[in-house]
Chain A
């Protein structure tokens, strides 16, 4: 459970997040909004790369903003980026193991956890294969494996389906839906692919110009008039 209240971020004269308040309870939650709405900025605040000027974030009862950024991963915040971050020179195993060895998991076997995460994302490749030799969809799954290994508490997925063909998105969607149950983490999914968001997320929040304009059950939110105007309206203009 993560509770955000009155979160405000300013870069000079720009206010990418303007008094954002929202609760993400459990399961997989969607976060949508037009380009520049502040979705990635919100993720950057959660990862600790951006310091907000005001507001609070309480995650499972702890004040997230007080933690140093590299400690948040240890605490359980994981994320994927819009740009690809799987490391080509390393093997699939090492890519995932690297995240595991900086998490707070103790006692369990690293090999088992890492291979378990690779299996969980349905990545059907030799764990010793270099990531550079894999295809785009497989590399994306490696990134998801990196995000779920080592008992995460909060998994942030930033446009995981961007650039993937539909059939690959289907596999990804199944994996994302399984994360809360199997890994016990809260997932926040940012994506422009509405079919992915509506198939994965029970609850969805909508940002527009740094403000939360709607949140609730995904189907209702997507029918909301304000959302149609803000989000889909922009799409019409582009089209």
Chain B
């Protein structure tokens, strides 16, 4: 398959000059070229392999870690959209996730609705709450936006800690402090076991990624790009910047709310310690490291956040090392690779490959020279 792709590039390489003039009309045909389908195909194969083999290769402990990676990739994708596409730095995504988890847990205890419906409802309610919370933030940008979202995250975390997470009790909060036997949060009937819930989460994550992709490829994505470039130029281009910023907040709150529902289903017991304000900051750190502009970067960020954590836990290393590592990582990314690991890695690998090839061919060349 790789060879085939290589041949294609070689064949089409001399073409551009001749097709340049006809380019406008050839656009539709161009996008259907096999080369454009390679990336989606590779991603589809990778996802299929993950779905099929991760549960059988890894122990339950790591299957759970992968589940967290899938779920948190939705959260990092949302933050990546805000930071990388719209240019709004939010330090409150951890709190939005907690809201989603709370709403989902409450609905799962109170109703017999299918899990999918609960996820959707959690997403929609979080979307409303997140957008309302985001309203005052729309007037701000940069550092001030980051600060106000961090403060809101702190406030929401305190509020959720005060009313507690639902544990099967009655009333609005669904919390019963006197309960001795706490029932676990319900999982979807088709995915009660850990491997099944892993697959369920991956499918949910794929749907959320597709939802975001549709936005990015369309009108809102272009409007966000304009806003990120310059708000005044966007306004001069006829873009209602307030509407589109609100739209971004709404979309991101929605997918983060759905992720919250998945967190509720995967942890099965929630308490105020599940979500801390610090999580929001760590989230931003990994998103910057993964790469804010790319969707693959979101997966890398979630991997850094959740899989490394599980790995260090397994090896008995203090998780504090992770904080230090992320600190160094962010510094490294901000100074040398503003597009994140996703874009830097291929470049570095190519450079390494050239270096190795250069080292390997030099002695031969020298021998030729002397002989």
Using a CB–CB cutoff of 8 Å, the interface residues on chain A facing chain B are 47-49, 69-74, 77-79, 81, 83, 85, 87, 89-90, 93-94, 97-99, 101-103, 111, 115, 118-119, 124-128, 146
Which chain B residues lie closer than 8 Å to A73 at the CB level? 235-239
Q: Contacts A93-B27, A128-B30 known; A78 to B239 CB distance under 8 Å?
A: no
Binds A, one of B221-229, B350-358, B362-370: B221-229
Nearest-neighbor residue (CB-CB) of A101 within chain B:
B219
Are B236 and A128 neighbours in the complex by a CB distance under 8 Å? Answer: no
Which chain B residues lie closer than 8 Å to A102 at the CB level? 223, 237-239
Rounded to whole angstroms, the CA-CA distance of A10 and B226 in the bound complex is: 29
Rounded to whole angstroms, the CA-CA distance of A47 and B128 in the bound complex is: 33
A–B pairs, 6, beta carbons within 8 Å: A78-B236, A81-B236, A97-B222, A101-B219, A102-B223, A115-B24
Which chain B residues lie closer than 8 Å to A125 at the CB level? 20, 23
Interchain nearest-CB distance for B220 vs A (Å): 11
Are A101 and B222 neighbours in the complex by a CB distance under 8 Å? Answer: yes
Which chain B residues lie closer than 8 Å to A94 at the CB level? 222, 225
Interchain nearest-CB distance for A106 vs B (Å): 14
Chain B residues with a Cβ closer than 8 Å to the other chain, count = 25
Rounded to whole angstroms, the CA-CA distance of A125 and B31 in the bound complex is: 16
Q: Mark B228-242, 1 if CB is under 8 A from A, else 0.
A: 011011011111110
Of B222, B226, B237, the most chain A CB neighbours within 10 A belong to: B237
Q: Mark B129-157, 1 if CB is under 8 A from A, else 0.
A: 00000000000000000000000000000
Nearest-neighbor residue (CB-CB) of A46 within chain B:
B236
Q: Contacts A90-B222, A97-B222 known; A70 to B24 CB distance under 8 Å?
A: no
Q: Contacts A101-B219, A119-B24, A128-B30 known; A49 to B235 CB distance under 8 Å?
A: yes
Of B31, B230, B237, B238, the most chain A CB neighbours within 10 A belong to: B238
Interchain nearest-CB distance for A142 vs B (Å): 13
Are A87 and B226 neighbours in the complex by a CB distance under 8 Å? Answer: yes
Rounded to whole angstroms, the CA-CA distance of A140 and B170 in the bound complex is: 64
Are A118 and B238 neighbours in the complex by a CB distance under 8 Å? Answer: no
Q: Contacts A47-B235, A70-B240, A99-B238 known; A85 to B229 CB distance under 8 Å?
A: yes
Nearest-neighbor residue (CB-CB) of A104 within chain B:
B238
- Within 24-40 of B, Cβ neighbours of A (below 8 Å) are at 24, 27, 30-31
Rounded to whole angstroms, the CA-CA distance of A79 and B293 in the bound complex is: 28
Of B16, B219, B226, B233, the most chain A CB neighbours within 10 A belong to: B233
Interchain nearest-CB distance for B174 vs A (Å): 44
Which chain A residues lie closer than 8 Å to B235 at the CB level? 47-49, 69-70, 73
Contact of A90 among B20, B225, B232 (CB under 8 A): B225
- Within 1-53 of B, Cβ neighbours of A (below 8 Å) are at 16, 20-21, 23-24, 27, 30-31
Q: Mark B257-290, 1 if CB is under 8 A from A, else 0.
A: 0000000000000000000000000000000000
